[in-house]
Amino acid sequence: MDLKKLASRLIPDKNLLPPEEYEKIYPERDIDKGAEVTRLAPSPTGFIHLGNLYSALADERAAHTSGGIFYLRIEDTDEKRKVEGAVESVIRSLKYFGLKFDEGAEIDSPLNKYGPYYQRQRAEIYRSFVKKLIEEGLAYPCFCTAEELDAVREKQTENKQTTGYYGAYAKCRNLSEEQIYKNLDEKKPFVIRLKSQGSIENKFTFRDAIKGDITVTENDQDVVILKSDGIPTYHFAHAIDDHFMRTTLVIRGEEWLSSLPIHLELHKVLGFKPPRYAHTCSLMKMDGETKRKLSKRKDPELSLDYYRKAGYYPLAVVKYLMTVLNSNFEEWSLKNPDADYRDFKFKIDKMGKSGALFDLEKLCDVSKTEISKLSAEECYGFLNSWVEEFGTDTDKARFKDKEYLVKILNLIMGTGGKKRRKDIERAEQGVRLIEYFFDDLCNHYDKFRFDDKTVTAVLEGFAKVYDPADDNSAWFAKLKAVASNAGFAAEMSEWKAHPENYKGSVSDAAEILRIAITGKANSPDLCTIMGILGKERCLKRLNSENCISLNKAQTE
Ligand code: GLU
């Protein structure tokens, strides 16, 4: 068969460059030996998840700890799955978490010499190579209809055989020249398939950069490389792109491991040296006693938007993921609490080989710790940017008063040094936590533990003597006097010695006051809170009638 003639008929494009030309257009990168070129290659489906960030962080670290390059390529060969705005969402999400691309789609960089970075814009490159493979007898047209392929699959399933287009099932593999041209003359739609040279009888050892040596069976599937619309499949496009974008290390989820034999064969028939592959293990969570994969349907925390909307501190998410990526990160981080996580020596081969456990509670702890390291001003900036994007109009109006907010945050977070409070876990919760500083009468959540008469005695007693000019000790002395009048022990020692003589201790009386003022049985220093709130607001909240009825309504 005249394969050159067939190739020209199947790929009639006039101005295709010969494949060798692309070696010159996309030369080897001028980077140090050992520098890794990695990429994030999402399909623009609109759902960017934690697994993507996990992989992207490994990509970014592998590239940047070796003096290499991390780029963004959009794998948009499947038009049906494309979602408007998905690319922007990937870029925005990664930016939120502080991950920077050096080059790639929508990245403004002088390094962008290996583009275009959208696969749909690279159709000519792919077609040039498809043509070459046809000329070499390594690819052929397939005219099978969807119905025919379904029938083959059914038969294979019935016979308990591997499904797909291979061996005797690859009907179009051996079409005669006459048959092919007849089909073409009849304008039958066709795809181009790889003429696989592999056999499932052959196994070989493959070294994965994470999983180590694994035994792989050769591919024998005549996979589609060019679809009937002239656009390649992901398998084919990624092989060409990783070669010409000079990727040295492909980090991707282990769900791609089953396609590895196809990818290795594609590199082989194309005459390329494949990049190193690193397959990351899936993120798992504990569901009761069992460990299972995070699922899009069951686990909202799989979506990256979840973290933005809930306002997790982005650096905390990244640091937490670093502990999942490299188990020695946590120890390093404890020894170097103030160091930039980028100073840690990330190692791809230290990544877990199976099921990485993702623990949202632990992430919350990291988030609390990271937020507690912020100054009140920085914390304001963080909360305010969340409020601007996700807050209610009321939140937005409140956050305009920066001075007031910084005062509150100074108190909420503690005053510097080692003893910082860790009450803020994420922006949304932080914004709600400080709500009691705003309402005319706060929302009561915690129940009074004493009868109305006692509550009234404490609140009214304190309202009468409260003076915002009092310092902490004067404030406390007044509280003790009020407590004592209302039947509480003013000194803890008295209370401990004769509990039968009192309704409770001074700290129980303080709790009444605290609930009236903040709504909560626990809060930072109450005297300071009252100072920030101002006398008028405090007296309103100490109005026992209002306070008791609100408290009842809220806790019933
Ligand atoms: N486009 C593939 C995806 O959507 C990327 C696979 C790879 O990294 O090779 O996940």
Residue 383 has pLDDT above 80, yes or no: yes
Give the mean pLDDT of 366-379.
Answer: 94
Please identify, by atom number, the ligand 1 atom nearest to the C-alpha of residue 39. 8
Q: Alpha helices, DSSP H only, in 296-439? A: 304-310, 314-325, 329-335, 360-372, 376-390, 393-398, 402-413, 427-433
By alpha-carbon position, which residue is closest to atom 3 of ligand 1? 42
What is the model's pLDDT at position 131?
Answer: 98
Q: What is the CA radius of gyration of the chain?
A: 33
Q: How far is the CA of 238 from the centre of ligand 1 (A)?
A: 8
Average pLDDT for 27-36 = 95
Query: For strand 103-104 and strand 356-357, is the pairing parallel, antiparallel, or unpaired?
Result: unpaired
Cα of 36 from ligand 1 centre, angstroms = 18
Q: What is the mean pLDDT of residues 278-290?
A: 91
45 lines ligand 1 (CB under 6 A): no
Polymer length in residues for the chain: 556
- The verdict on the CB of residue 43 being under 6 Å from ligand 1 is yes
Q: In the predicted model, is pLDDT for residue 338 greater than 90?
A: no
237 CA to centre of own chain? 26
Ligand 1 site, residue 430, Cβ cutoff 6 A: no
Residue 164 has pLDDT above 60, yes or no: yes
Q: Which of 50, 119, 234, 249 to mutate to test the pocket of ligand 1 (most atoms within 8 A of CB)?
A: 234
Candidate from 140-154, 236-250, 343-357 with smallest mean pLDDT: 343-357
**pLDDT score of 417 more than 60:** no
How many CB atoms neighbour CB 422 within 10 A?
15
Position 155, amino acid: K
Atom of ligand 1 nearest to the CA of 75: 1
User: What confidence score (pLDDT) does residue 339 get?
Assistant: 93
Mean pLDDT of the region 4-33:
95
CA 410 and chain centroid, separation? 30
Helix axes 50-64, 314-325, angle to 10 degrees: 80
pTM of the complete model: 0.87
445 vs 76, higher pLDDT: 76
Q: Is the pLDDT of residue 444 over 80?
A: no
Q: Which pLDDT band holds residue 355 (cuts at 50, 70, 90)?
A: confident
Report CA(256)–ligand 1 centroid distance (Å).
Answer: 8
Residues 202-242: tens digit of each pLDDT = 999 999 999 999 999 999 999 999 999 999 999 999 999 99
Q: Please compute the mean of the pLDDT values over residues 90-97 and round it to a whole number.
A: 89
Is the Cβ–Cβ distance between 358 and 284 less than 8 Å?
yes
User: What gap in Å lies between CA 522 and CA 2, rounded to an integer?
Assistant: 85
pLDDT band at 315 (very low <50, low <70, confident <90, very high): very high
Which of ligand 1's atoms lies nearest the C-alpha of 45?
A: 4
Residue type, 241: D
Q: How far is the CA of 231 from the centre of ligand 1 (A)?
A: 17
Q: How far is the CA of 50 from the centre of ligand 1 (A)?
A: 14
Q: What are phi and psi of 49, to 5 degrees?
A: -120, 175
- pLDDT higher than threshold 70 for residue 520: yes
CA distance from start to end of the chain = 86
Strongest mean pLDDT among 50-54, 265-269, 305-309, 546-550:
265-269
Instruction: Quote the ligand 1 centre to 546 CA distance (angstroms).
Output: 60
Kindly give the distance from the C-alpha atom of residue 73 to the centroid of ligand 1, in angstroms, as a whole number: 10
Q: Whose Cα sits closest to atom 8 in ligand 1?
A: 252
Report the percent of the chain where pLDDT is more than 90.
81
Over residues 155-161, the mean pLDDT reads 95
Regarding the beta carbon of 42 and ligand 1, being less than 6 Å apart is answered yes
**Could you give the 3-state DSSP secondary structure of residue 276?**
strand
Ligand 1 contact via 241 beta carbon (within 6 Å): no
